[in-house]
Structure 1
Amino acid sequence: MGVANYCLACGTYLETRNINQVDRKACPECDFVFWGNYSIGVGALIIKDNKILLVRRSQNPGRGLWTNPGGYIEQFERIEETIKREVFEETGISSKVNGIIALGDFPKDVHNVYIVFLMDYLEGDPRPDNVEVDDAGFYTLDEMESMNISELTRQLATIAFQEPKFGLIANPIPLTTIPGYRVFNIHGM
């Protein structure tokens, strides 16, 4: 049901209440409802000279595995800024968002949503941050065969090397008057 025991708004001990046929933690003193525990991760696929940017994780989960760079969004950060920041922090590579080409959905104790961006390389030489990753570089599919690469990254690299010309891109035309709200949709729609 979740990990919250106390109201995040007023501090009152939460009770269990059936809301829309789902037992949820809710505050008996105010309007607060604990809807669940969610995390939004982002990943980058960057190709340069027919090689893809990979990092070797130095922390768990995935310690020792080669993966595409990525991380988690901050509360008040746009996802396009998150992925550029994460790539730069982990590898020293500057990049820009081309589009979203994959979306992962991992419901468990913390429901993890994973957004994968196809990115354009701008500049820089790969260097690990020596905190989250201990190695970084550009690798061909052939070079990847002998590397300890996560299964998901291997599948995502295959997609990236196919040079997709489709996916979701940020719509430059606001679709709503909600400040800061951004919609990604299929190119040209």
Structure 2
Amino acid sequence: MTTRSEGMQPHHPELPPLTPIRGGHHRCTKCDRIIYSDPKVAVAAIIPMDGGIVLLKRAIEPQLGKWSFPSGYVDRGEKLEKALEREVLEECGLVVDVIGLVGVYSDEGQAVVLVVYHADVVDGELMAGDETSDARVYAVDAMPELAFEHDDRIVQDWLEGLGMRRQ
């Protein structure tokens, strides 16, 4: 048996122990209900600006000190595009308009499903937010090493969507 995992919704006030079952899910020892360990949805933005794209240097784990796109988790009940607009404003001070979907990314064994959008700047000034230590615009062919394994694939997918290829 195991105790309640982070993110699982209680269905009994006294929080009975759970028994692990297939697929990373759990079964309540009191009522036999299956508690699903659903993935967490995150959003990220590729934001073209001044001939490059906006990248942020992460001030938090995972990948502290590495560069990535403005991104963050979607709150329960929040529309994906609104979550993206909120996260971009919080992380780098930009107000954006969501233009279109770049792709949806997930990796075997990982709990996060990442939904990436192309977004254009409509207002604001690029600056580091609370979870970032720096915010810069990099040309696609001069980007620093990116934080996450799928980040290069995301850039390539975005370029292909524009009818371009990475050099």
Q: Give the corresponding residue for 1:105.
A: 106
1:59 counterpart SS class: coil
Counterparts of 1:99 and 1:4, CA distance in 2: 38
The percent of aligned pairs where both chains have the same amino acid is: 25
Counterparts of 2:89 and 2:78, CA distance in 1: 15
Question: Deviation digits for residues 72-125 of structure 1, max 9, x if unmatched?
Answer: 0111211111111101100001102112221111343x6211111111221222
Task: Map residues 1-189 of structure 1 onto 2, 5 A cutoff.
Answer: 4=4, 8-10=10-12, 11-14=14-17, 16=19, 24-30=25-31, 32-108=33-109, 111-129=111-129, 131-144=130-143, 147-150=144-147, 151-164=149-162
Over the aligned positions, Cα root-mean-square deviation in angstroms equals: 2.9
The 3 A distance-change label for structure 1 pair 31 and 162 is same
Counterparts of 1:2 and 1:97, CA distance in 2: 42
TM-score (norm 2): 0.79
Larger radius of gyration: 1
Aligned residues: 159
| Counterpart contact for 1:56–1:66, Cα < 8 Å | yes
The 3 A distance-change label for structure 1 pair 12 and 121 is closer
| Counterpart contact for 1:46–1:118, Cα < 8 Å | yes
Counterparts of 2:9 and 2:17, CA distance in 1: 6
TM-score (norm 1): 0.70
| Counterpart contact for 1:4–1:25, Cα < 8 Å | no
The 3 A distance-change label for structure 1 pair 117 and 2 is farther
- The one-letter code matched in structure 2 to 1:164 is L
| Counterpart contact for 2:16–2:30, Cα < 8 Å | no
- Measure how far apart 1:139 and its partner are: 1.5
- The one-letter code matched in structure 2 to 1:8 is P
> Any unmatched runs of 5+ in structure 1?
166-189
